[in-house]
Structure 1
Amino acid sequence: MNQTDFSKHISDFFGSYLPDECGVTNNTIKTYSYCFTLLLEYFKEVELIRAQKLTLKHITKERIISFLNWLETTRKCSTNTRNARLGAIHAFFKYLQYRDVTGIAMWQDVLSIKFKKTGVKQMPFLSVEAIKALLDLPNQKTKKGRRDFVLIGLLYDSAMRVQELIDSTPSDIRFGEIVTIRVIGKGNKVRTIPLTDVQANNLKQYMLENNMLDKNKLNNPLFSNGRDGKLSRMAVLKIVKKYFQILKQNTSIIVPDDIGCHALRHSKAIHLLEANVNLVWIRDFLGHSSVTTTEVYARASDKMKKEALAKLNPGIIIEGKSSWQKDPQLLSYLKSLQLDF
């Protein structure tokens, strides 16, 4: 069977362009490939064009917009997911601009599709007291409980992304006066994160218990699935959400319903800001490419908002002295009305 122009370019896009020329991570390749799996499903179900017949001329701006709407209506995807899929499609059509210039007008037509605006969503995070209560939940008398305790503690202390945690190995840890962990973030950017003394000690005890300082195990996953393989993202989420649920059920601490692993990263960032740590340092700590991304944490902190307002014209608002406070009879009358309802 002859290859279509679409299948040839999609093979080159994933097989050569993304890994070799762009140097993107395997996680990005997986995300992009899933987008095109969905696109093929859409063309088969809605446009009645099977994968082996699909060509680039079929993939018009109008059909891509229809595909994006299908994701939201039929697949029940969120606006953020829709935009992520469009980002993958944009990447492919940017690639096409330099691989097949004869169709550049069509490629740029698809690239003109704008991302859909999303509502501002409240960033879920926990207070310092809530984090302490969360870390007190794993049963440290069991091996699995000790693993969960160190895993959750490391996610918070380092503000690592879940994928960064999954990809970490014992060889990434540097023990010294300052204990650090080396992580490879988005875009294969490497950063070194210092750990607090307490978390560093917890991590060292965990590694000793599991013989991770053995030279033969230095490249094994720092947190494994029990078969020396990496934990999946879903497995890490399951561990963390388990303790969030216990925290919510057994304490008076308010825990948002949609909270996940990223809330630990959010929480660390906000706690650093509330401790007056420089925003640029936090940007580097989190692995953001721009300080603009980091500024969202400053907008999320109610404590920082209150402190900022207190610095602005303090003492202007004075305590009111209402007429009913001056008139005992009127106050008694108002209170008597409340008793009738």
Structure 2
Amino acid sequence: MSRESTPSARIAAAIRRRISSGDLSPGDRVPSTREITREWGVAMATASRALAALAQEGLVRAVPGVGTVVASPASAARPAHAAAPGALTRERIVRTAVVLADAEGLAMLTMRRVATELGTSTMALYRHVPGKAELVHLMSEEVFAERPLGSPGLNGWRPRLTHAARWLWRMYVRHPWMAQAMAALTRPQAAPHAMRYTEWVLHALSGQGLTPTEMMHVHLTLFGHVQGLAGTLELENRARQDTGMSPEEWMAAQEPRAEEVRAAEGYPVLGSYFAADGFELNLESLFAFGVERILDGVAVLISRREGGN
């Protein structure tokens, strides 16, 4: 059987030729798995195997928030695992998986993909981590622990909850896949680092006259708001990789359609937003607006408790 007899091998060979010819230079983003599926008409698993083969050769590498790019000549001269020497440990597996998920998304993360990045066999990983579900759990704990929430001298429940919400949002921005990993609000897992976040928020609410149930509902309402918006972060990363367009470039490309809506009858209010100068819709503004409105509601609830109602 020849080297290029399988679909994934043929795709890897085609991308390899683009790199060798200079069509793709160091730092250039190579086709994403979705782009490969469209261009070659193959399954996502086949596309993932093609990229994994190139990564094992050291020709490409995962870059968080960007995707898979052509490796520099220095790193391409050695296998991918040579860039991260050391004994195979659970901690090393988890850190590698976090970097891959940051770059390629949780859906593309497999035990085989992690093993390829580490230059080892999939079975070797199973001696340290029983499967992907446990790996994702460990990854989530790693992320929650990377930057302590702290207590920056804030007084009052509202500044403290605002700080907690912003801390959580920044974590999701750094690791968009976490929105999927933490999606099961009603089926939480025992996770010490994540539970410390919950403890911090509940402590900020203590002494305000709220019942334990009300305090937990405030926490989960804030968490759910951040979680919901964060779910679009990974979708945006995929869209950027698939289209090659930033959100600003995408909106600019939609201008002709926006003009049609503005000119059409039946959309007087919506049309005014397209015509407004300075109106900008982004996740940061939605996050901040939602947090403030939720906390407005919490303030009303606390005032009622203080008034005995």
TM-score range, shorter chain: under 0.3
Rg larger in structure: 1
